[in-house]
Amino acid sequence: MRSNLRCLAVLVVVLSCSALLWAADFDTLFTGRTLRLDYFHSGNADEEHISIDELRLEDNWPGSRTRLLDDSNLGKYLFVVVDLQTQLPIYEDFVTPGSEPWEKNITALSDPARLKWRDLVDPATPIPTPWNQNAYDKVAYAFQKKRQELRAARASEEEMDRYFAEVKKITAPMLAQETYAEEVGAFEGAGYQAKGLYRSSTDCIMFTRNPDHFCPVCASAIEEVIDLYAD
Ligand SMILES: [Zn+2]
Protein backbone atom coordinates (compact mmCIF):
# COMPACT_ATOMS: atom_id res chain seq x y z
CA MET A 1 0.00 0.00 0.00
CA ARG A 2 1.24 3.43 -0.80
CA SER A 3 0.78 6.40 1.44
CA ASN A 4 1.73 10.00 0.99
CA LEU A 5 2.69 12.32 3.77
CA ARG A 6 3.24 15.96 3.14
CA CYS A 7 5.66 17.30 5.70
CA LEU A 8 5.39 21.00 6.20
CA ALA A 9 7.67 23.58 7.60
CA VAL A 10 11.03 21.97 7.26
CA LEU A 11 12.92 25.20 7.57
CA VAL A 12 16.23 25.72 5.93
CA VAL A 13 18.38 28.78 6.12
CA VAL A 14 19.65 30.27 2.90
CA LEU A 15 23.30 30.13 2.00
CA SER A 16 24.92 33.49 1.49
CA CYS A 17 28.49 32.51 0.79
CA SER A 18 30.74 29.52 1.08
CA ALA A 19 32.62 30.25 4.25
CA LEU A 20 34.53 27.23 5.32
CA LEU A 21 34.41 27.17 9.09
CA TRP A 22 32.66 24.11 10.41
CA ALA A 23 29.89 25.30 12.71
CA ALA A 24 30.84 28.79 11.67
CA ASP A 25 28.82 31.71 12.86
CA PHE A 26 25.38 32.19 11.44
CA ASP A 27 25.93 35.60 9.85
CA THR A 28 28.94 34.41 7.89
CA LEU A 29 27.09 31.47 6.41
CA PHE A 30 23.51 32.62 5.99
CA THR A 31 21.51 35.60 4.79
CA GLY A 32 18.99 35.28 7.63
CA ARG A 33 16.03 34.47 5.39
CA THR A 34 14.29 31.09 5.47
CA LEU A 35 14.14 28.72 2.54
CA ARG A 36 11.20 26.41 3.11
CA LEU A 37 11.30 22.93 1.62
CA ASP A 38 8.11 20.88 1.37
CA TYR A 39 8.52 17.27 0.42
CA PHE A 40 6.63 14.01 0.05
CA HIS A 41 7.64 11.04 2.12
CA SER A 42 6.02 7.91 0.68
CA GLY A 43 6.55 4.18 0.70
CA ASN A 44 5.51 0.82 2.02
CA ALA A 45 7.00 -1.82 4.32
CA ASP A 46 9.90 -2.50 1.91
CA GLU A 47 10.93 0.85 0.55
CA GLU A 48 10.51 4.57 1.03
CA HIS A 49 10.96 7.60 -1.18
CA ILE A 50 11.47 11.25 -0.48
CA SER A 51 10.74 13.70 -3.28
CA ILE A 52 10.71 17.48 -3.30
CA ASP A 53 7.34 19.19 -3.58
CA GLU A 54 8.37 22.84 -3.59
CA LEU A 55 10.85 25.41 -2.35
CA ARG A 56 9.79 28.81 -1.10
CA LEU A 57 11.69 31.83 0.19
CA GLU A 58 10.12 33.02 3.43
CA ASP A 59 10.75 35.58 6.15
CA ASN A 60 13.45 35.73 8.77
CA TRP A 61 14.83 32.48 10.11
CA PRO A 62 12.94 31.67 13.34
CA GLY A 63 15.28 28.95 14.60
CA SER A 64 18.47 28.99 16.60
CA ARG A 65 21.36 31.06 15.23
CA THR A 66 23.93 29.48 17.47
CA ARG A 67 22.99 25.82 17.32
CA LEU A 68 23.22 24.91 13.63
CA LEU A 69 24.30 21.28 13.86
CA ASP A 70 22.05 18.74 15.56
CA ASP A 71 23.99 16.11 17.49
CA SER A 72 20.94 14.99 19.51
CA ASN A 73 20.44 11.77 17.53
CA LEU A 74 16.71 12.21 18.23
CA GLY A 75 15.02 10.96 15.12
CA LYS A 76 15.22 8.55 12.24
CA TYR A 77 15.89 11.03 9.44
CA LEU A 78 18.58 13.69 9.39
CA PHE A 79 18.22 16.71 7.14
CA VAL A 80 21.64 18.14 6.28
CA VAL A 81 22.68 21.26 4.38
CA VAL A 82 26.21 20.84 3.02
CA ASP A 83 28.52 23.60 1.90
CA LEU A 84 29.34 22.87 -1.77
CA GLN A 85 32.96 24.00 -1.57
CA THR A 86 34.02 22.36 1.66
CA GLN A 87 31.52 19.49 1.60
CA LEU A 88 31.02 20.08 5.32
CA PRO A 89 27.60 20.17 6.98
CA ILE A 90 26.61 23.68 7.93
CA TYR A 91 23.07 22.95 9.07
CA GLU A 92 21.42 19.79 10.41
CA ASP A 93 18.01 18.94 11.73
CA PHE A 94 16.51 15.63 12.74
CA VAL A 95 13.21 15.16 10.93
CA THR A 96 10.57 12.88 12.35
CA PRO A 97 7.57 12.25 10.11
CA GLY A 98 4.31 12.58 12.03
CA SER A 99 5.95 14.82 14.64
CA GLU A 100 6.79 12.13 17.17
CA PRO A 101 9.41 13.71 19.43
CA TRP A 102 9.81 10.66 21.63
CA GLU A 103 10.72 8.13 19.02
CA LYS A 104 13.91 7.64 20.97
CA ASN A 105 12.00 5.89 23.72
CA ILE A 106 10.76 2.85 21.87
CA THR A 107 13.04 0.41 20.13
CA ALA A 108 12.94 -2.79 18.09
CA LEU A 109 15.82 -3.99 20.30
CA SER A 110 17.69 -5.70 17.47
CA ASP A 111 20.92 -5.44 19.47
CA PRO A 112 20.52 -5.23 23.28
CA ALA A 113 24.16 -4.13 23.62
CA ARG A 114 23.33 -1.00 21.63
CA LEU A 115 20.09 -0.10 23.43
CA LYS A 116 19.54 3.63 22.89
CA TRP A 117 19.08 4.41 26.60
CA ARG A 118 21.70 1.88 27.80
CA ASP A 119 23.42 4.54 29.95
CA LEU A 120 20.24 4.84 32.06
CA VAL A 121 19.91 1.09 32.69
CA ASP A 122 21.16 -0.42 35.95
CA PRO A 123 23.66 -3.20 35.06
CA ALA A 124 21.63 -5.57 37.29
CA THR A 125 18.49 -5.15 35.15
CA PRO A 126 18.15 -7.79 32.42
CA ILE A 127 17.58 -6.72 28.80
CA PRO A 128 14.97 -7.47 27.54
CA THR A 129 13.35 -6.89 30.92
CA PRO A 130 10.79 -9.48 32.06
CA TRP A 131 7.31 -8.37 33.07
CA ASN A 132 3.88 -10.02 33.29
CA GLN A 133 2.86 -9.08 29.80
CA ASN A 134 0.32 -11.89 29.35
CA ALA A 135 -1.65 -10.93 32.46
CA TYR A 136 -1.60 -7.27 31.49
CA ASP A 137 -2.57 -7.95 27.86
CA LYS A 138 -5.60 -9.97 28.99
CA VAL A 139 -6.89 -7.06 31.04
CA ALA A 140 -5.97 -4.51 28.38
CA TYR A 141 -7.76 -6.53 25.68
CA ALA A 142 -11.00 -6.58 27.69
CA PHE A 143 -10.78 -2.81 28.14
CA GLN A 144 -10.04 -2.32 24.48
CA LYS A 145 -13.17 -4.25 23.56
CA LYS A 146 -15.33 -2.21 25.89
CA ARG A 147 -13.76 0.94 24.51
CA GLN A 148 -14.74 -0.06 20.97
CA GLU A 149 -18.28 -0.73 22.15
CA LEU A 150 -18.46 2.73 23.70
CA ARG A 151 -17.14 4.28 20.49
CA ALA A 152 -19.68 2.31 18.44
CA ALA A 153 -22.43 3.58 20.77
CA ARG A 154 -21.15 7.12 20.05
CA ALA A 155 -20.13 7.78 23.63
CA SER A 156 -19.06 11.38 24.32
CA GLU A 157 -15.39 12.31 24.78
CA GLU A 158 -16.14 12.94 28.48
CA GLU A 159 -17.47 9.40 28.80
CA MET A 160 -14.43 8.00 27.02
CA ASP A 161 -12.10 9.98 29.32
CA ARG A 162 -13.99 8.78 32.38
CA TYR A 163 -13.69 5.20 31.22
CA PHE A 164 -9.99 5.63 30.50
CA ALA A 165 -9.49 6.98 34.05
CA GLU A 166 -11.27 3.90 35.45
CA VAL A 167 -9.02 1.62 33.42
CA LYS A 168 -5.94 3.42 34.72
CA LYS A 169 -7.06 2.75 38.28
CA ILE A 170 -6.68 -0.96 37.55
CA THR A 171 -3.72 -1.06 35.16
CA ALA A 172 -1.45 1.47 36.92
CA PRO A 173 -1.21 -0.60 40.17
CA MET A 174 -0.65 -3.75 38.08
CA LEU A 175 2.35 -2.14 36.43
CA ALA A 176 3.57 -0.66 39.72
CA GLN A 177 3.77 -4.17 41.22
CA GLU A 178 6.13 -5.41 38.53
CA THR A 179 9.55 -6.60 39.76
CA TYR A 180 11.32 -3.96 37.63
CA ALA A 181 8.64 -1.27 38.02
CA GLU A 182 11.12 1.23 39.43
CA GLU A 183 13.85 0.42 36.92
CA VAL A 184 14.73 1.53 33.44
CA GLY A 185 14.89 -1.47 31.12
CA ALA A 186 13.47 -2.72 27.81
CA PHE A 187 9.90 -3.96 28.26
CA GLU A 188 8.14 -5.54 25.30
CA GLY A 189 4.98 -3.71 24.20
CA ALA A 190 5.22 -0.14 22.88
CA GLY A 191 3.94 2.18 20.19
CA TYR A 192 0.59 0.32 20.01
CA GLN A 193 2.40 -2.97 19.32
CA ALA A 194 2.24 -5.89 21.78
CA LYS A 195 5.22 -7.60 20.14
CA GLY A 196 8.50 -6.50 18.63
CA LEU A 197 8.74 -3.01 20.11
CA TYR A 198 10.14 -2.21 23.55
CA ARG A 199 9.63 0.69 25.93
CA SER A 200 11.93 1.93 28.66
CA SER A 201 9.70 1.64 31.76
CA THR A 202 6.70 -0.48 32.73
CA ASP A 203 4.51 2.63 32.94
CA CYS A 204 6.16 4.68 30.18
CA ILE A 205 3.84 7.22 28.59
CA MET A 206 4.68 5.62 25.22
CA PHE A 207 2.69 2.61 26.36
CA THR A 208 0.11 3.60 28.94
CA ARG A 209 -0.47 7.29 28.20
CA ASN A 210 0.29 7.83 31.87
CA PRO A 211 -0.93 11.39 32.54
CA ASP A 212 1.08 12.02 35.70
CA HIS A 213 4.76 11.69 34.95
CA PHE A 214 7.37 10.82 32.35
CA CYS A 215 9.66 7.85 32.85
CA PRO A 216 13.39 8.63 33.31
CA VAL A 217 14.19 8.01 29.63
CA CYS A 218 11.35 10.21 28.33
CA ALA A 219 12.27 12.91 30.85
CA SER A 220 15.90 12.83 29.78
CA ALA A 221 14.99 13.03 26.05
CA ILE A 222 12.67 15.97 26.69
CA GLU A 223 15.37 17.79 28.68
CA GLU A 224 17.84 17.16 25.86
CA VAL A 225 15.51 18.74 23.30
CA ILE A 226 14.71 21.70 25.55
CA ASP A 227 18.44 22.29 26.14
CA LEU A 228 19.09 22.05 22.41
CA TYR A 229 16.70 24.91 21.67
CA ALA A 230 17.16 26.92 24.86
CA ASP A 231 20.96 27.09 24.70
ZN1 LIG B 1 8.94 6.91 28.85
Kindly give the distance from the C-alpha atom of residue 154 to the centroid of ligand 1, in angstroms, as a whole number. Answer: 31
- Give pLDDT, residue 11: 41
The kind and range of the H/E element at 196 are strand 193-199
Give the residue, 210 or 129, on which the prediction is more confident.
129
Kindly give the distance from the C-alpha atom of residue 10 to the centroid of ligand 1, in angstroms, as a whole number. Answer: 26
pTM: 0.57
Give the residue, 73 or 38, on which the prediction is more confident.
38
Instruction: Give the pLDDT mean for 211-216.
Output: 82
Indicate if the pLDDT at residue 18 is higher than 50: no
Tell me how far apart the alpha carbons of residues 199 and 188 are, in angstroms, rounded to a whole number: 6
Among 16-25, 83-92, 148-157, which stretch is predicted with the lowest mean pLDDT? 16-25
Kindly give the distance from the C-alpha atom of residue 11 to the centroid of ligand 1, in angstroms, as a whole number. Answer: 28
Kindly give the distance from the C-alpha atom of residue 228 to the centroid of ligand 1, in angstroms, as a whole number. Answer: 19
pLDDT-based confidence at 228, cuts 50/70/90?
A: confident
Q: What are the helix and strand counts (H, E) for the chain?
A: 5, 8
Tell me how far apart the alpha carbons of residues 89 and 69 are, in angstroms, rounded to a whole number: 8
Report how far Cα 77 is from the mean position of its chain's Cα atoms: 11
Give the residue, 190 or 25, on which the prediction is more confident.
190
Return the amino acid letter for 50: I
- Give pLDDT, residue 19: 38
Kindly give the distance from the C-alpha atom of residue 182 to the centroid of ligand 1, in angstroms, as a whole number. Answer: 12
Q: How many residues does the chain have?
A: 231
Give the residue, 104 or 203, on which the prediction is more confident.
203
CB of 72 closer than 8 Å to CB of 92: no
Which residues crowd ion ligand 1, with CB under 5 Å?
Answer: 105, 204, 215, 218
Kindly give the distance from the C-alpha atom of residue 131 to the centroid of ligand 1, in angstroms, as a whole number. Answer: 16
Give the residue, 7 or 179, on which the prediction is more confident.
179
CA distances from 155 to 69, 151, 162, 170 (A): 47, 6, 11, 21
Kindly give the distance from the C-alpha atom of residue 201 to the centroid of ligand 1, in angstroms, as a whole number. Answer: 6
- Give pLDDT, residue 190: 85
> What is the residue-averaged pLDDT of the chain?
79
- Give pLDDT, residue 229: 75
Burial 65-85 (b: 16+ CB within 10 A, else e): eebbebebebbeeebebebee
